Amino acid sequence: MQKHIVTAFEEELQNLSQKISKMGGLAENQLTMAIKSLENNDYELAKRAILSDKSIDKLELEVEEEAILMIAKRQPMALDLRRIIVTIRISSDLERIGDLAKNIAKRVIKINGRTPKSLVSGFSAMGELAKTSVKNILDAFAASDVDKAIIVWQNDKDLDALYNSIFKEITEHMKKNGDHIDYCTHLHFAAKNIERIGDHATNIAENIHYMVRGEMLSDDRPKSDLIKIS
Amino acid sequence: MSENKIANKYQVRDVNVFYGDKQALFNIEVDVLENQVTALIGPSGCGKSTLLRCLNRMNDVIDVCKISGDILLDGQDIYSKKIDVVELRARVGMVFQKPNPFPKSIYDNVVYGPKIHGMIEHKSDGDEIVETSLKRAGLWEEVKDRLDSPGTGLSGGQQQRLCIARAIAVSPEVILMDEPCSALDPIATARIEELIDELKEKFTIVIVTHSMQQAARVSQKTAFFHLGKLVEFGDTDQIFTNPHNQQTQDYITGRYG
């Protein structure tokens, strides 16, 4: 790809991509902390996960402001236009991932280490899948790699399937143990949050596809999330 | 949009243009659709103005200019011997980069063309043409009380609209515009762009512009030229959001060079 004649524009675009990478790194880290704090019932780590959300929010605002300024100043066309628009969307997805991770961390305190042993490994597995998706989708964005993005997009069904089975397990557990409903509800929300993080990764995948190819990913994503009503 | 229902106003087929030994256009194939705005873009010297000038045979006045291939207007070859060039230019009007009103009154500027084409029998015919043309060019309200003042006394943007009024006074079918806004300020430019949008209801417009944003704003079809070749031709919406050709992409994103 040739560089822009106007070097400042080139730098602004690079700066924007770097901010996304930075946001992505923070979101990944926050998610890792949230999952780990859930696994180990680690309050301190949960608190750190909650606090780190602020930096992501701040970066999202910066990305938005810079992107708007670039549209006004550079009047971007074609690939540049798509990249800038997509960057705004991706930053919003990453911000949401941060929010969801924060929400998981908040629930750690409520759940208070009462996660039934049979469920802990399920949560770990979901966490791993979500982390992998987020990591891979950020790599795909950095490399403008559509094929890699599509793999993330397709793999989300595994996370959905895992969520389904955890959902069932939690429901079963609640049926048998009426006094566990309180923390199990939090547990369910935590699982749902992880599943939603996967959805944001697929949003990013769709945006990468649009950015590179100029066309929307139109096929319906393979789904195994049969419970999902809304 | 049911595009296949729109008629081809021009069919440009395998056109090559030479200025002496130098070839300016290579095997150009373009369809200009009726009642649409077609923008020709590309770096200086790419041949876009050359093609524009072929469309009403303005290149005839250049001795060393030779053209091969076919340019059909409503299916008729405009380079055929049967074509009366004066008549052709009445059907295909032109607006230039710099506003060039005649050193005459506003009224006479507009009525000049219709007069020489014998469109005026009574003075009232002229009055009507002047009013309609100036109204269509969006200038009537600004000049209706001073039609006797010299056209050259108007502002740049007004002069350009006067030239557009003069071009449409002879009821052409096509208007060719060669960078019509490059000498105008942004507000005058916006007025011309608004006008282009209205004019396409009645006329077919081909515009050469150096402003890609302008091409994106006013046209429905865009042709990108480079070194005398037509690199990409397509829907304007597609060209500026998702061009298929790498050269087009490099040019419109400011990477060309």
Task: Tell me the pLDDT tens digit for each residue of B140-163.
Answer: 999 999 999 999 999 999 999 999
In a domain, residue B158? The reply is no
Domain boundaries, chain A: 7-213
Q: Please, which residues 191-220 of chain B have a Cβ atom closer than 8 Å to chain A?
A: 212-213, 216
Cβ–Cβ gap A9/B254 under 8 Å? yes
String of DSSP letters for B38-84:
EEEE-STTSSHHHHHHHTTTGGGG-TTEEEEEEEEETTEETTSTT--
- Closest residue of chain A to B257, computed from CA coordinates: A5
Cα B200 to chain center, whole Å? 11
In a domain, residue B161? The reply is no
* Residue B256 banded pLDDT, cuts 50, 70, 90: confident
Closest CA–CA distance from residue A116 to any residue of chain B (Å)? 52
pLDDT of residue A223: 61
Mean pLDDT in residue range B110-119: 93
pLDDT of residue A229: 44
Query: From 3.10.50.40, 1.20.58.220, 2.60.200.20, 3.40.50.300, which CATH number describes the A7-213 domain?
Result: 1.20.58.220
pLDDT of residue B6: 80
Residues of chain A with pLDDT under 70: 219, 221-230
Structure confidence by residue, pLDDT tens digits, A175-199: 999 999 999 999 999 999 999 999 9
**C-alpha closest to that of A79 among A21, A158, A144:** A144
String of DSSP letters for A49-112:
HHHTHHHHHHHHHHHHHHHHHHHHHH---HHHHHHHHHHHHHHHHHHHHHHHHHHHHHHHHHHT
Q: Which helix H or strand E contains B193, and what residues bound it?
A: helix B186-199
Cβ–Cβ gap A82/B255 under 8 Å? no
A82 touches chain B (CB under 8 A): yes
- Closest residue of chain A to B213, computed from CA coordinates: A75
String of DSSP letters for A111-173:
HTT---HHHHHHHHHHHHHHHHHHHHHHHHHHTT-HHHHHHHHHHHHHHHHHHHHHHHHHHHH
In a domain, residue B188? The reply is yes
In a domain, residue B9? The reply is yes
Which pairing describes strands B174-178 and B92-95: parallel, antiparallel, or unpaired?
parallel
Domains: count for chain B: 1
Q: How far apart (Å, rounded) are the C-alpha atoms in residues B203 and A83?
A: 37
**Phi/psi of residue B182, nearest 5 degrees:** -70, -20
Show residues of chain B in contact with A3, CB under 8 Å. 255
Dmax over Cα atoms in chain A, in whole Å?
A: 68
Q: Which of A109-113, B55-59, B90-94, B173-177 has the lowest mean pLDDT?
A: A109-113
B186 touches chain A (CB under 8 A): no
Quick check: B2 pLDDT over 80? Answer: no
Instruction: Enter the pTM of the model.
Output: 0.86
Show residues of chain B in contact with A9, CB under 8 Å. 254
Q: Which two tokens stand for residue B148?
A: 């006797």
pLDDT of residue A230: 37
Which residues constitute the domain of residue B28?
3-100+176-252
Q: How far apart (Å, rounded) are the C-alpha atoms in residues B79 and B57?
A: 8
Show residues of chain A in contact with B253, CB under 8 Å. 4, 76-80
Show residues of chain A in contact with B213, CB under 8 Å. 75
Q: Is B206 helix (H, G, I), strand (E, B) or coil?
A: strand
Percent of chain B with pLDDT over 70: 98
Ramachandran bin of B29, using left for φ above 0, alpha for ψ from -120 to 50, beta for the remaining angles: beta
Q: Which two tokens stand for residue B201?
A: 């209801």
In a domain, residue B125? The reply is no
Mean pLDDT in residue range B228-236: 97
Quick check: B1 pLDDT over 80? Answer: no
Cβ–Cβ gap A4/B254 under 8 Å? yes
Structure confidence by residue, pLDDT tens digits, B46-71: 999 999 999 999 998 899 999 999 99
A75 touches chain B (CB under 8 A): yes
Residue B40 maps to which CATH number? 3.40.50.300
Give which of A6, A79, A83, A84 to mutate to test B binding, by max B Cβ within 10 Å.
Answer: A79
Q: A with B: how many residue pairs have Cβ under 8 Å apart?
A: 43
pLDDT of residue A59: 97
